[in-house]
Amino acid sequence: MIKVKFKVNTEEREIVTEPTKTLLEILRDDLGLRGTKEGCGKGECGACTVIMDGKPVVSCLVLACQLAGCQITTIEGLSRDGKLDPVQEAFIEEGAVQCGFCTPGMILSAKALLMGNQNPTDEEIKEAISGNLCRCTGYIKIIKAIQKAAKAQRAALAPNTSGGTRKNRDQ
């Protein structure tokens, strides 16, 4: 057994667990964060994708012994003050959600992309979600949703006529 401290959705966590327990198991079983889904359990489908220290990772391949000091963001951590993240909103508005099983991992892969690239090309979007399998939508609506979220993110940061950004003006 090991004791490991890390953050999940900005909240400090400390658990005692087996060193080989996966982050996926910890999130779902120990912390009750069931938005992270298990698909293949082998790192091939992307259903369990979360953001770890700013990068998308498949949580079924991350072990407890690797978590010390890490910052994890799950689908539950994207909304703020009851308001969905722009990526979540765009997925809903564009109909990029069908059965919903791949959606949390897909959204977190998209979020990680947009954290580092506010104006991705279609090819960059396809590359960013290439590790996430969807059996329902055919990806067209997913790509449109990510484009829409990127546009919304750029608009929120664009300068306004009073010299500040929209984000600053609204605060």
Name all domains of the chain by residue range, CATH numbers in brackets. 2-77 (3.10.20.30), 86-160 (1.10.150.120)
- Model pLDDT for residues 111-124, shown as the tens digit of each residue: 999 999 999 999 99
CA distance 93 to 70: 32
Mean pLDDT, the chain, integer: 92
CA distance 35 to 74: 7
Q: Which residues contact 70 (CB under 8 A, 6 or more apart)?
A: 6, 7, 52, 53
Q: How far apart are CA 16 and CA 48, in angstroms?
A: 22
Query: For residues 2 and 17, is the Cβ–Cβ distance under 8 A?
Result: yes
- Residue 147 corresponds to which amino acid? Q
CA distance 132 to 118: 20
User: What pLDDT sits at residue 163?
Assistant: 53
Task: Enter the pTM of the model.
Answer: 0.90
- Residues 81-99: what's their mean pLDDT? 95
Alpha-carbon dihedral of residues 93, 88, 102, 55, nearest 10 degrees? 140
Residue 148: pLDDT band (50, 70, 90) is: very high
Alpha carbon distance 105, 103 (integer Å): 6
How would residue 171 be classed by pLDDT, with cut points 50, 70 and 90? very low
CA 107 to chain centre: 5
Decide: 5 and 69 in contact? Cβ < 8 Å.
yes
Q: How far is 44 from 110, CA to CA, in rounded Å?
A: 17
Cα(154)–Cα(27) distance, integer angstroms: 32
pLDDT score for 168:
43
Give the pair of three-digit tokens for residue 132.
Answer: 């996430």
pLDDT top residue among 158 and 51 = 51
Which positions ≥6 away from 148 have C-beta within 8 Å? 90, 93, 94
Please check the confidence at residue 25 and state whether its pLDDT lies above 50: yes
